Amino acid sequence: MARSAEAIDERNLAWYLDRAVRVFVFVGGISAIVLIIGIFVFITREGLEFATTTLNIKEFFTSPRWAPTSETRPTYGALALIAGTVSVTGTAMIVAIPFSLGAAIYIAEFATGKTREVLKVLVEMLAAIPSVVWGFIGLSIMNGIIIQLFNVPIGLNVLNAGVILGLMAAPIMTTIAEDALKAVPDDYRQAAEAMGATRWQVIFKVVLPAARNGLVSAVLLGVGRGFGETMAVLMASGHSINIPDSVFDSVRALTATIAAELGETAVGSDHYGALFTLGIMLFVVTFIINLTADLVVRGIKKR
């Protein structure tokens, strides 16, 4: 024992390796914090000056006229873009919530053995489909289907983007919701069954209320995903500046606007600043949504 203790004290290669790994793990651990602060500082630095000086805040939130490259009268109204993002995300949630809760309940409470394992893997695989592929499905397949089915002039609209986004958000929501259902102790189920409750009564009256916080956070994370998704929405929404009054109207999302316009915008111009202002807004909104989701989950653990 004494010899090995000496060996440990010695500053040999193992000691240096240990040190190096320790530093590496520490850097890895704090990198998330450094990155998030870095990103926040970056987008505010790029966008804040414009947002606080040139930008007409009232116009930004109340005007639907987004015309940053106009030669006669550039205006930066984000109302239509906000309406676009909200309407698409809302539709997506209407699609995704029943799907993902149903899938989660089935996987967690009913499916057993092989079925369960296969389903879990498939749901995770669904989450791995690249968003541009979803967008392509929206652009080339859903467009035609919607035109035929609803007899509307164009299939790139809120419904198309909402359905695509709902299907994209559903896997992650299913996984989180399933974890929440699994976290409900079996004692609860057994106690309820011992009282003579049926399977449905156990699920609806006992398991779902007990897992409520986890389910709410699953939905919130889905909403966050919807707000932040870019490529699929860009391709499926029609990318049209428009305040929708039905799900068959084309819209344009905040994220899609940044993606489509930033690449060809002169660095430091008003247009550039305006796009970063949209970025700040998106960042703040998704940050709040994710933070709320996190706090809600922590809520369960404290109890």
Partner 1 sequence: MAAGPIDTLFRGTKTKKMKHGKILAAVCCVALLGCGGRDGSSSRSVIQNKGSDTLVNVAQAWAENYQTVEPNVAIAVTGGGSGTGFAALINGTVDIANASRGIKDSEVAAIRENGVEPIEHIVGFDALAIFLHPDNPMDQISISQLAGIYGENGELESWTDLGTTVPGCRNQEIVRVSRQNNSGTYAYFREAVLDKADFKLGSRDMHGSKDVVDLVENTVCSIGYSGLAYANEHVKMPCVESGEGCVAPSSQTAIDGSYPIARPLFMYTAGEPEGATKDYLDWILSDEGQCIIQEKGYAPVRAVTCG
**Binding positions for partner 1, rule: CB under 8 A:** 1, 3-5, 7-8, 12-14, 17, 64-73, 80, 139-140, 143-144, 147, 151-156, 234, 238-242, 250, 252, 259-261, 264-266, 271
State the minimum distance, in angstroms, from the CB of residue 258 to partner 1.
11
**Smaller CB separation from partner 1, 9 or 187:** 9
d(CA 147, CA 155): 5
**Smaller CB separation from partner 1, 53 or 151:** 151
**Smaller CB separation from partner 1, 68 or 224:** 68
* Nearest partner of 173 among 110, 85, 87, 95, judged by Cα: 95
Phi, psi angle pair for 172, to nearest 5°:
-70, -35
Q: Is 158 exposed, middle or buried (0-12, 13-18, 19+ CB in 10 A)?
A: buried
State the minimum distance, in angstroms, from the CB of residue 27 to partner 1.
19
State the minimum distance, in angstroms, from the CB of residue 16 to partner 1.
9
In this structure, what DSSP letter does residue 238 have? Answer: B
State the minimum distance, in angstroms, from the CB of residue 23 to partner 1.
16
State the minimum distance, in angstroms, from the CB of residue 172 to partner 1.
26
**Smaller CB separation from partner 1, 11 or 73:** 73
State the minimum distance, in angstroms, from the CB of residue 269 to partner 1.
10
State the minimum distance, in angstroms, from the CB of residue 18 to partner 1.
8
State the minimum distance, in angstroms, from the CB of residue 94 to partner 1.
24
| Gyration radius (Cα) of the chain, Å | 24
d(CA 84, CA 265): 22
**Smaller CB separation from partner 1, 210 or 233:** 233
**Smaller CB separation from partner 1, 227 or 248:** 248
d(CA 128, CA 123): 9
Other beta carbons within 10 angstroms of residue 179's beta carbon come to 15
β-bridge mates for residue 75, sequence order: 67
**Smaller CB separation from partner 1, 135 or 226:** 135
**Smaller CB separation from partner 1, 2 or 33:** 2
CB 180 within 8 A of CB 252: no
β-bridge mates for residue 67, sequence order: 75
Which residues are CB-neighbours of 241 under 8 A, at least 6 positions away? 64, 65, 66, 80, 81, 252
Output b/e per residue, 3-20; b: 16+ Cβ within 10 A: eeeeeeeeeeeeeeeeee
